[in-house]
Structure 1
């Protein structure tokens, strides 16, 4: 199967977990009505993007009402769902974690955000995820009926080594649920997704929460799909929006034959080595 219909659920996230789960369910059901194969939710889709809320909203994997809800929706509708990310708690530590469910509602991959969002743009925005979150340390890929896919979260996309490692593990689509803000988003969001797709000749998918002006953190939105040629296939606005696009994975082979970047790497001079990096 080379064609995949992907649904990007750019949902409005509020300070109420039950309301967020209802909204996620509504957008998933609408995606199913449009015959989507692969449905993607935003980073922290059940939780306001705030350190204090990560603590308040966190769930343990085995008892998570959020993950149970998404698992049931995946199995009921026989679709893949990438559950953006949630604040996950394990052994007293908090992680920003994404879960991938298959058509049977089974978790087939989980990714803990590797690069924590610790920034200080003077006079504009300061955020320190490391104040409450712990970084993951695994490169995450998963086998699906569409081939292998890779998963990162938000700030992970700024690190080209991670994308290259996933591509070298034969991932053909890289998913990055993310929540860029109104400072970094306009400057870098589209640029990064086009660049990671172009560098590795893969499809890249970013799904963000919609802009909620009542929240303390203002998400840029603009959920996006970019092609192996570095083009934007689809992009949302900042508002709540459902974007559904069909991609053709056969484009990857065609583009790699025309412009053989990965084949022309000079591994006699340099290489990206997983054991050395992580």
Structure 2
């Protein structure tokens, strides 16, 4: 499975982000002939609920039947590629929002989606959390999709691997201050769950006010591709880039296969699920209502902060 990641840069005018991404997809497909393309989280630009971005409501969010997805589907058909359509702030039929990734096949048909299960920061009160971890069958084997902060909850990737996913795509946004931890955790996750990992993030920075405090949010690219054997490719933190690697479904299945004569670490095969009941219980130290605290900070934001 030849994979291409399109790491885009937020444009000064958010309305230019989709044309920028489409041009990058077109060029990557013509020059590299991938089987599957992955876009970043928030490829349309900053979410309206980020600090100081209230004016982008209706600009960087969209419905799943919008011209945004019509154009992405047309690109998938034109180049005969699968496409993990990054993630968008989906405006749902009931007026609520969700951070959503859509999977298109070579015909541009939506064959699956993933809704972020673990909303982060302002998302915790602005978006509906997903509740399903789905694996999607493709000609390259089963693939999973997780969205950004879902990665930081280890159960997400592990469950997708246990459901049979041999490659997991992760549209996300790496905060600059988290890069070192992200790279280390990414490599470790691929190894511990015996799975190919594909992460694609945007490059961009916004500044606003939250709770009367100035906040800067900087997404620092650094898209990554890893197998259980190690890191295959890494994009820069501050520029547009196309990252490419060929991944093997068969290699993962072979690694996971039980073999009494093989003393290679095989974490999935050694699991003892009957001992893991505590994983479904609340965190013992969770004695704060984080959603309420975030809501309070958002209400304290001065009206002018969302006007810039």
Do they fold alike, i.e. is TM over 0.5? yes
1:82 corresponding residue in structure 2: 84
Moved more, 206-215 or 81-90: 206-215
2:156 to 155, 162, 165: 162
Cα pair 1:43 1:154 within 8 Å, conserved:
yes
Moved more, 107-116 or 203-212: 203-212
1:6 to 3, 6, 17: 3
1:135 corresponding residue in structure 2: 129
Q: 1:198 to 1:159 in 2, by over 3 A?
A: same
1:209 corresponding residue in structure 2: 202
Q: Work out the CA distance in 1 between the residues paired with 2:195 and 2:277.
A: 19
DSSP 3-state at the match of 1:179 = coil
1:122 corresponding residue in structure 2: none
Q: Work out the CA distance in 2 between the residues paired with 1:151 and 1:201.
A: 16
DSSP 3-state at the match of 1:23 = helix
Q: Work out the CA distance in 2 between the residues paired with 1:268 and 1:182.
A: 39
Q: Work out the CA distance in 2 between the residues paired with 1:154 and 1:60.
A: 20
2:117 is the counterpart of 1:114: yes
- Greater per-residue strand proportion: 1
| TM-score (norm. length: structure 2) | 0.78
1:139-218 equivalences under 5 Å are 139-184=133-178, 186-212=179-205, 217-218=217-218
Mark the runs of 5 or more structure 2 residues left unpaired by the alignment.
209-215, 258-263, 283-308
DSSP 3-state at the match of 1:139 = coil
Cα pair 1:9 1:40 within 8 Å, conserved:
yes
Cα pair 1:165 1:272 within 8 Å, conserved:
no
Q: 1:68 to 1:16 in 2, by over 3 A?
A: farther
Q: Work out the CA distance in 1 between the residues paired with 2:87 and 2:17.
A: 13
Q: How many residues align?
A: 261
1:25-104 equivalences under 5 Å are 25-33=22-30, 34-51=32-49, 52=54, 55-56=57-58, 57-62=60-65, 64-90=66-92, 91-104=94-107
Q: Work out the CA distance in 1 between the residues paired with 2:273 and 2:17.
A: 47
CA radius of gyration, larger in:
2
Mark the runs of 5 or more structure 1 residues left unpaired by the alignment.
119-127
* Structure 1 stretches of 4+ moved >6 Å: 271-274
- Displacement of 1:192 after TM fit? 2.1
